[in-house]
Structure 1
Amino acid sequence: MIFRRKMYKVAPSILEDFNKHFNETLLPTQLKYGARLVGRWMTEEKDGVIEILAIWQYESQEDYQVIEGKVRGDDAHIERVEKWFQKLGGRDKLKEVFLHIDQDFMKTTVPLDKTIIN
């Protein structure tokens, strides 16, 4: 079992649109192909930045790669994402409001039956 930690630092001006886009576009496609969202949280604004953290659960790195391949190969999904980019002024414009994006993978240090995730 692995967990993907996806982290964003965003400007407050994009927050509402980004959360809507996540819930209406990104999340449904991920779930369609088997990704499991553990949760998604955000901090209060601090110095003009809001941090958003999403944790996803996968059986393995290979499982993640298969799911991501299906998401990236979903033409309807790609079209919806591109429309969202264009609505906000294009990919280059998003660099002004997405201040940092990062992800990494983690393994649990306790048995899952000792957590609420089991």
Structure 2
Amino acid sequence: MLHRRKTYTIRPERLQEFTEFFHTYLYPLQISHGARLVGRWVNEAEDEVIAIWEYRDREHYEQVDRDVRGSTLRREAMKKRARLGKNLYIKSTEDFLTATGVYAPPRAIVSVTAYITNEAGEVLLVRNLHRGDTYEMPGGQVENHESILDAVKREVKEETGADVTIEGITGIYQNVSSHVLCVAFRGTYTGGELRPQEGETAEVGFFDLNRENIDTYIKREHFQLRTLDAMDPHYFPHALYKVRPYELISRYDGNAPSALSGQN
């Protein structure tokens, strides 16, 4: 892996403005083209911000850099910075780092997504700010000490405003490029007022989605795959439990959706 350390010198009183600029433009610019953010830090004086990005190798970094420079979002970022003033950050520097060893156990990011339908059979889709070229099923990352069932209901609620019940797992998908394991669910809309999530989703709605028109809405192949699998689902058995001592939280045998029990 290749790591790039980007250091920004800022004025402390503009830290919040710079953080918003980073999350709106700099972060989505990188991740939408394949980079991974390892972490972002600010020093005690709040006049220096450091972000460390991860790439597979030098060739991958150079490809991401070319893609970023040619993107529409970068042009928007440059216009936004001009409006905010060039001293949004005083200067930036970067250098590249390579690891001297492996000091942590293997890590994978677990995410969840959900195929949610309403009474009319329409499908709940979102269009994210950092993936504006496509609609997709709502979802996101599982937080520490959170079950996948709690996570999918929370992510759907946060991104769309919808309350849902979950029927079962329709597929498991691994992005080996970014170490993300995605668990896809199917469920039903039960209430809540639809609304985009500020800073995350640009559009939310129910759509008359089917196999014939999916290309009209969902442009990315890996999003299409998990959506098509959920249209005519074959549910997977799964269980949530604790150990020391063992406690079964919920168990689903993969048959009828009503078999899903123990949801919080």
Q: Which residue of 1 aligns with 2:84?
A: 88
Higher helix share: 1
- Residue 34 of structure 2 aligns to a residue whose secondary structure is coil
Q: Which residue of 2 aligns with 1:5?
A: 5
- Residue 108 of structure 1 aligns to a residue whose secondary structure is coil
- 8 Å CA contact 2:29–2:73 kept in 1: the answer is yes
**In structure 2, how many angstroms separate the alpha carbons of the residues matched to 1:117 and 1:42?**
27
Amino acid across the alignment from 1:81: A
Equivalent residue in structure 2 for 1:62, among 59, 82, 97: 59
- 8 Å CA contact 2:81–2:88 kept in 1: the answer is no
**In structure 1, how many angstroms separate the alpha carbons of the residues matched to 2:106 and 2:9?**
26
Equivalent residue in structure 2 for 1:115, among 104, 120, 127: 104
Task: State the TM-score, normalizing by the size of structure 2.
Answer: 0.38
**In structure 2, how many angstroms separate the alpha carbons of the residues matched to 1:101 and 1:6?**
7
Amino acid across the alignment from 2:91: H
Offset of 1:110 from its aligned partner? 1.2
Higher strand share: 2
Deviant stretches of 4+, over 3 Å: none
Offset of 1:26 from its aligned partner? 1.3
Q: Which residue of 1 aligns with 2:91?
A: 100
Aligned residues: 107
Amino acid across the alignment from 2:12: P
**In structure 1, how many angstroms separate the alpha carbons of the residues matched to 2:52 and 2:105?**
14
Query: Could you say if the C-alpha distance between residues 16 and 116 of structure 1 is closer, same or farther in structure 2, counting changes exceeding 3 Å?
Result: farther
Q: Which residue of 1 aligns with 2:29?
A: 29
Structure 1 portions without partners, runs of 5+: none
Task: State the TM-score, normalizing by the size of structure 1.
Answer: 0.80
Amino acid across the alignment from 1:57: E
- 8 Å CA contact 1:34–1:67 kept in 2: the answer is yes
Query: Could you say if the C-alpha distance between residues 86 and 43 of structure 1 is closer, same or farther in structure 2, counting changes exceeding 3 Å?
Result: same
Deviation digits for residues 54-89 of structure 1 (CA, Å, limit 9, x no counterpart): 111111111000001001101x21332122122213
- 8 Å CA contact 2:2–2:98 kept in 1: the answer is yes
Largest Rg, 1 or 2: 2
Offset of 1:39 from its aligned partner? 0.3
Structure 2 portions without partners, runs of 5+: 108-264
- Residue 37 of structure 1 aligns to a residue whose secondary structure is strand
Offset of 1:98 from its aligned partner? 2.8
Amino acid across the alignment from 2:74: I
Q: CA RMSD in A?
A: 1.8
- Residue 39 of structure 1 aligns to a residue whose secondary structure is strand
